[in-house]
Structure 1
Amino acid sequence: MPRPPGHGPGYEIKRQEIIDKAAALFAKKGYAATGIAEVGDVAGLARGALYYYIGSKENLLVEIQDRVMRPMLASVHRIAGLEEEPVLRLRMLSQTLLENILARLDHVWVYEHDYRNLHGDNRARLLRQRREFENIVQELLVAAMDDGSFRKLDPRLATLQFLNLHNHTYQWVRTDGEWDAEYLSRAYCATLFRGFAGPGRQFDDIEDRMRAYLAQRVTPGPLPRTGEE
């Protein structure tokens, strides 16, 4: 949500702080179980002042959803548009997805659990964004089938396999743990690619190709947080 006319930069800084605190609270208690007064308490604001910054409780949920989807969509569109083989782009997409999950664990928790609390246009827009993201993944998987890297699979089922392996990472991963996004992506893709591989195809060199790509270009990664440039 853009800064309303007449509001200085301090307004946006405070609003972003409120969204951060609300995301942590919703992740802990659940959106539906959290009252607006509780959000005000953690933000240090009375109800009237809180509404001045966020408009409504649902607006907070919209902002949290946007912080997850907007960077991801921008990143995957960049990756999909690269002139690289589909398997390498899937490896890039995998790592970017995991980087975004690790960067905003509380937001992702709310994104996965509470999107059904959105209504009307807000919910419809989020569902369109989800379908857009899933379609990009599916198109890359189909491209890998078409060039012989992967055997012929049900595209929808392959997409669900790819996404489910990644999307549930937020439930157990720790930002201070031993596994970072790169490590997890290598492990996930090794498992998926071996299972999807076409006849005679192996991907033992995929990490070498990933490093070679990174050595010559800047790989797409998470965009700045919403409200940051």
Structure 2
Amino acid sequence: MFESADVLRRQQTQRLRDEALGLHDRTHDSVLEYPPRVPPEALQVKISRYPAGVTTLALNSRLSIQFLSFFDIFYDWFTAATTTPGPHESMTELGHDILGAKGLSFTERLLAVAVQAYINWVERARRKWTNFSSEHAVEVQIGVLKKSGRPGTDAQADDTRDAFLWSCLMIRDTTVLESGARAWADEQLRELGVDAKGDLELQAKLDGLFFARPGSKHAEYAEGFLMHETPLG
């Protein structure tokens, strides 16, 4: 599939870049590895360009090296896709490895699902095409999150609350209305008192910490590129 080829090319580019920085590839390690409280300088350089919310989680050892590799590829693609006219590669297969990793924390899994949901939305908006496998993966992973029993804990903890709220907002805004993922995200937001149309100041703050959701004011510039790219054959 061309989606897999696009992801593989970016993974290879990332490996070469990390090797140049002296970082070892941990993408396929069976045991997740978390950086120390004071990460190596090369890793600090790598994560310093991420949105502030992700950088903070990484510096607090909340995100594994494997998750950071996943996010690094996504953020490279996201930056290109939202600042330059396309066409750009399809990334719908990007979440396959990280969402299949054993031992992901609740926060890591939720963030990865939110990123995958965003990628799926871009695919629908840009190519007018749906990767049903990737859409189904979001639904499956929401089921895993439901069974974990962690939502209340991560929604209230000081260092994960923002990530929890933003992820729920992203999932709500990028999944189809009748999906189980959308229903779950809506439920979490209602329990936390975050109204779908209200709390705009809070939502703007969260978009600034992570990245803008479709339809938000921060996303208008990006969506202009995404919606007017050259159609792919």
* TM-score, normalised by the number of residues in structure 1: 0.29
* TM-score, normalised by the number of residues in structure 2: 0.28
Q: Which has the higher helix share?
A: 1
